[in-house]
Amino acid sequence: MKISLPVRGSDAISPTAHYTGYVWYRHGLSHPGLVTPQGRALYHALRPLNASSRGIGGPTLEGFLLARHRAIDALLGHAIDSGAVGQVVEIAAGLSPRGWDFARRYGTRIQYVEADLPHMAQRKRERLAAAGLETPRHRVVALDALADGGALSLATLAQSLDPKQGLAIITEGLLNYFDTDTMLGMWQRFATVLKRFPAGAYFSDLHLASDNRGASTRTFGKLLGSFVRGRVYLHFGSVAEAEAALIRSGFATAQLIAPQPQAMSGGAIDRKGAALVRVIKAGT
């Protein structure tokens, strides 16, 4: 099957949201209402490539996706359970189940805002409504992570949040699609906004150059390249470099965590996949 993907800028990333949306569903993390035909088609189109990588002892897309997703879930859950965080803005949420899942799990204890580019936000709203998954403290808004000001900026969204509640910002599957300066701009914007709240936490996945070397990983790189059809940026050569850049961007604390490998729906555990990704835990 031939899958056509747009190739440039933020738009190049959107098809991957359909794919990951299907992966979350496939592994029991999501609701059928958040599955799209594009996601299902991409998933099945990429199965042979995933299988051939696994066949030579290499990593799989699903292995690293599940590791990062569950690690971010755990960090966010802990931040809410500790009482530090009472509201969440998930930027580039795509078709992720996290907003729906946390809103139903935590009820009135949190306010969950999912944010994405206008067309994706609209699609998510439609999907949630059609599947009856809306809850009062969960909303989906249009936002451009690259906007410094204006209606689509994080700064404008932040004005609608409760200044007395701790805030967590999440990005998942976003940072490595942007060049270093653009990504640092996002981090500065996130830190600036988080500092206005009594507690500020930032959780995200990040791929490092130091974790993405070796023969099987090169095969995996081809897999990822065929999937994204755009450039993937590995901004930092080490954990220390990435942590220092987060501090320079305005965070008071920054830690890169190696996520635990997670069992897939069939029981297989992909340790090599999990080793390709780190999870940021930063605070202001």
Ligand X SMILES: C[S@@+](CC[C@H](N)C(=O)[O-])C[C@H]1O[C@@H](n2cnc3c(N)ncnc32)[C@H](O)[C@@H]1O
| Interaction site with ligand X (CB under 6 A) | 10, 13-14, 16-17, 20-21, 91-94, 96, 116-117, 120, 143-146, 172-174
- Please report how close the Cβ of residue 48 comes to ligand X at its closest, in angstroms: 21
- Please report how close the Cβ of residue 14 comes to ligand X at its closest, in angstroms: 4
Among 201, 144, 171, 168, residue whose Cα is nearest residue 68: 171
- Please report how close the Cβ of residue 111 comes to ligand X at its closest, in angstroms: 19
Beta bridge partners of 91: 115, 171
Q: Token pair for residue 112?
A: 């969950």
Q: Which residue is nearest to ligand X (CB)?
A: 94
- Please report how close the Cβ of residue 157 comes to ligand X at its closest, in angstroms: 11
Q: Which residues contact residue 9 at a Cβ distance below 8 angstroms, ignoring those fewer than 6 apart?
A: none
Q: Which residues of 74-94 are buried (b: 16+ CB within 10 A; e: fewer)?
A: ebbeebbeeebbbbbbbbbbb
Q: Give 39 or 166: the residue with its C-beta nearer to ligand X.
A: 39
- In this structure, are residues 176 and 249 in contact, taking their beta carbons and an 8 Å threshold? no
Q: Give 14 or 87: the residue with its C-beta nearer to ligand X.
A: 14
- In this structure, are residues 16 and 227 in contact, taking their beta carbons and an 8 Å threshold? yes
Among 141, 155, 133, residue whose Cα is nearest residue 91: 141
Q: Give 32 or 164: the residue with its C-beta nearer to ligand X.
A: 32
- Please report how close the Cβ of residue 13 comes to ligand X at its closest, in angstroms: 4
Q: Give 87 or 171: the residue with its C-beta nearer to ligand X.
A: 171
Q: How far is CA 110 from CA 42, 60, 89, in A?
A: 33, 34, 11
Q: CA-CA distance, 137 to 145, in Å (whole number)?
A: 22
Q: Give 54 or 68: the residue with its C-beta nearer to ligand X.
A: 68
- Please report how close the Cβ of residue 276 comes to ligand X at its closest, in angstroms: 15
Q: Give 147 or 241: the residue with its C-beta nearer to ligand X.
A: 147
User: By CB neighbour count within 10 A (0-12 exposed, 13-18 middle, 19+ buried), where does 105 fall?
Assistant: exposed
Q: Token pair for residue 25?
A: 């569903």
Q: Give 75 or 214: the residue with its C-beta nearer to ligand X.
A: 75
- Please report how close the Cβ of residue 148 comes to ligand X at its closest, in angstroms: 12
